[in-house]
Structure 1
């Protein structure tokens, strides 16, 4: 069996026009993981889910449990599966890539049931990829098993601070570390903190430990006295740093240390400006916990968005709660990273900005915004002659692009562009069948909704599916 035959089968399983009977034949006749492709389509027919839910092979049931195309209600059929491995997959949910794509959540009552499952692995995976109700998250944080509590800390991003803080004193070290990860606090006595810094294998570990330690004046002085640049950079970001050391680090010889000081939340605009700092276009600034916990604070986010400090404006762009005037302000920011972060995080990012950012972005995530409702569609045909293949493939998203243009781009030198055109219903069938037999576009062409039933039968026959 040739590789192209298998690729065509995968494409056929995802074809939105594939009849239910064809999907059932793939589910029952394909080998191994090829069957999972049936659950990666945009929608999975109920009859296919029924067949998978009652299938004697747990692998098949697992494909439904973790299927990105299956709805929460469809996956919930396996919440009572006798095999805990299957229930763990149901609890975790499908891993759906893309910031604006989320797995369809399980029904609330099913989440509550899984939160009380007798298998701790099920409880530990609940909410891993699909959100759960807050009351279920609270149950998991109070679970008697440390593995479950630690997992819930990592996966429940909206956990109230009042529920997380007590777990910094949890009897289990893994839970304490997880609570520290969420809060930015590194648990431990002064002696333990100093020991961690001394034993750290990397500058990152030293920075994180110094940034998250609960500081006394004496501990702060001892950490500062190490003379280690990474430790000083971490101290500069620690919210409990004494004022004397804040002033000392504001004139530190290290640019990284001075930058960290300039991003402290209590500073005024005048104080930030007085610190010699620099943020370059390629510098990566990860928002500290105080920012991530305050993205819905309108006063703080306004101060960040209106700041002359580029780093503060980048922090503001992480907030999905900014009002319209601040969205407009950041959309016009001179810094590309600010504009890109706004696109990645705010549901009301302007459509033209989404397009502009995609065209300018050098990152692999440039296409993550394509399915956003605000992403423009009409007029994209103007990119047919662009030197950028990423721009040319946008033509297929233009509802007014003529079939002749789709056919023209199906001959594009870029296999990626040809593949996108193959999936377009406007592509003439004769050209679609040609692409079906080209190795670089075989899988994409098998997904084409214009694919004739006779061609679908040929794909099945080539892999021996009756």
Structure 2
């Protein structure tokens, strides 16, 4: 791989003439970077496809190619991309439905708006993977028909399809009203009864760990029920009985549904599996009474899930904040807090609560600035990235809390060039801060030169346009390929050097 040319191919300052010259010599790696250029013209996109067909798929998905530019026989991936975007031609679908490569037919089956005759062809395809893919994306009438397919893998795909009619999804929970499945991926390959060893050492085996079949296709049927439970189109009354199912995975899938009756929520709250209770705790379907019951749960995952519930009362959140290990996250309940609640949260005696509030980026100026001078480093670290903070406040943060807040201060979008220079010289160096400085829009040459001394910040700094051109040129021969690519992609690389590099190819 030519890392210099790959970097140049992504350089936003590369002239159109040099883009043309790169297209003429592009290999697959260079073509991949050229295909990502925002300024690539239609003519250049067509030329690139003729040079490197593998770039056609991305260009088609990004709208750089039209149907007239594609030969579906020679460029099936591009044709499939256009069909997936709804701008391909019906005759392409008919051609690809007969393609000998299963992968092509499988991708075709996921495309919307296929002609009816193509859908029928795919529904009776000789490879079950194609039929299952069609079932996953099919329109309601086709999905309903495929729910009775003799292969259990197709039914499992129908169960995950949100366009499947609700009555059909309800039937899939038990199989009642549907003809028995006759095959599954397990009994297709193995003599039953068979249980797939989770530690299977066969290199050519792609059966899921624990897949089993005793003639009833039980593991696939279990997967089908799990898909039905996760499908929002499945009617509530069809799934509530799973609250007492012996399968943990099925109860777990049920616990996340936002349409559960309170009685079912109450049963799941007593589940012996912490993961089930954790997903239930985060579920907006639970009421305040149950939230308060779950707040007494000692499971860390349960308490963390409850903290993420959009309806958790603030007094409960106050109790959770200290030990739920929430981290630097804007919780839904904090994001929805009213102006009065924001004022109350800002005055909380619990620093963990103030830290959570500081994650909001729409705080009133007075509250934002007060949090910036908070005595607790966790709170200051949380507020440090807030836009609008003055340089004086940012410096005060560093003076009071040092390395603990340095990286967050360096990431502040309003950090001034002078401040970034000072942060880059901090002793001892704070590596994460150097990486933030290296990508900051206000970073200056002196700050970036300091960042080059850090191994992980060096590739980031090498691509910063404020880096002096002679330094960028020197980095083109660096021993780290990431630094080389970043330097070659730097828009401040002199045009004459860009031209010489392409000419050397």
TM-score by length of 2: 0.53
Alignment-derived partner of residue 179 in structure 1: 232
**In 1: Cα distance, 2:459 partner to 2:3 partner:** 16
1:340-355 paired onto structure 2 within 5 Å? 348=387, 350=389
**In 2: Cα distance, 1:40 partner to 1:367 partner:** 32
Show CA shifts across 1:164-209 (max 9, x none): x99994855758735389xxx98852222332xx3235xxx85664
Alignment-derived partner of residue 55 in structure 2: 60
Offset, 1:245 = 5.3
Offset, 1:392 = 4.4
Q: Equivalent residue of 1:78, what SS? A: coil
1:7-18 paired onto structure 2 within 5 Å? 7-18=3-14
Larger-gyration structure (1/2): 2
Alignment-derived partner of residue 383 in structure 1: 423
- Judge conservation of contact 1:211–1:235 (CA < 8 Å) in 2: yes
Rate the CA distance shift 1:178–1:278 in 2: closer, same or farther, 3 A.
same
Alignment-derived partner of residue 127 in structure 1: none
- Judge conservation of contact 1:9–1:459 (CA < 8 Å) in 2: yes
Offset, 1:29 = 1.0
Show CA shifts across 1:27-74 (max 9, x none): 221211321212445x5253xx422135335423334346xxxxxxxx
Unpaired segments of 5 or more residues in structure 1? 67-74, 93-110, 125-143, 151-164
1:1-150 paired onto structure 2 within 5 Å? 6-40=2-36, 43-46=38-41, 49-53=42-46, 55-56=49-50, 58-65=53-60, 75-78=62-65, 80=67, 82=70, 85-86=77-78, 121-123=110-112, 147=137
Rate the CA distance shift 1:286–1:301 in 2: closer, same or farther, 3 A.
same
Q: Does 1:420 align with 2:410?
A: no
Alignment-derived partner of residue 442 in structure 1: 484
Aligned length: 374
Q: Does 1:459 align with 2:501?
A: yes
**In 2: Cα distance, 1:397 partner to 1:246 partner:** 42
Q: Which has the higher contact order (CA 8 A, sep 6+)?
A: 1
Q: Does 1:279 align with 2:329?
A: no
- Judge conservation of contact 1:13–1:23 (CA < 8 Å) in 2: yes
Rate the CA distance shift 1:225–1:200 in 2: closer, same or farther, 3 A.
closer
Show CA shifts across 1:183-239 (max 9, x none): xx98852222332xx3235xxx85664353754465345435544444444454555
Q: Equivalent residue of 2:39, what SS? A: coil
Show CA shifts across 1:346-373 (max 9, x none): 8x5647699979975799xx79968x5x
Show CA shifts across 1:368-404 (max 9, x none): 968x5x45445422234231345446378576946xx
Q: Does 1:199 align with 2:247?
A: yes
**In 2: Cα distance, 1:170 partner to 1:62 partner:** 38
Q: Equivalent residue of 1:412, what SS? A: coil
**In 1: Cα distance, 2:377 partner to 2:253 partner:** 27
TM-score by length of 1: 0.56
- Judge conservation of contact 2:469–2:494 (CA < 8 Å) in 1: no
**In 2: Cα distance, 1:408 partner to 1:264 partner:** 45
Offset, 1:433 = 3.7
Offset, 1:262 = 7.2
**In 2: Cα distance, 1:248 partner to 1:175 partner:** 29
- Please report the RMSD computed on the Cα atoms of aligned residues, expressed in angstroms: 5.7
Rate the CA distance shift 1:227–1:63 in 2: closer, same or farther, 3 A.
closer
Offset, 1:317 = 6.5
**In 1: Cα distance, 2:433 partner to 2:371 partner:** 24
**In 2: Cα distance, 1:145 partner to 1:299 partner:** 48
**In 2: Cα distance, 1:324 partner to 1:207 partner:** 43
- Judge conservation of contact 2:297–2:303 (CA < 8 Å) in 1: yes
Show CA shifts across 1:395-447 (max 9, x none): 78576946xx4796487363743762575465253x44433223224323323
- Judge conservation of contact 1:381–1:401 (CA < 8 Å) in 2: yes
- Judge conservation of contact 1:186–1:209 (CA < 8 Å) in 2: no
Unpaired segments of 5 or more residues in structure 2? 94-107, 114-133, 141-161, 170-223
Rate the CA distance shift 1:297–1:458 in 2: closer, same or farther, 3 A.
same
- Judge conservation of contact 2:139–2:163 (CA < 8 Å) in 1: no
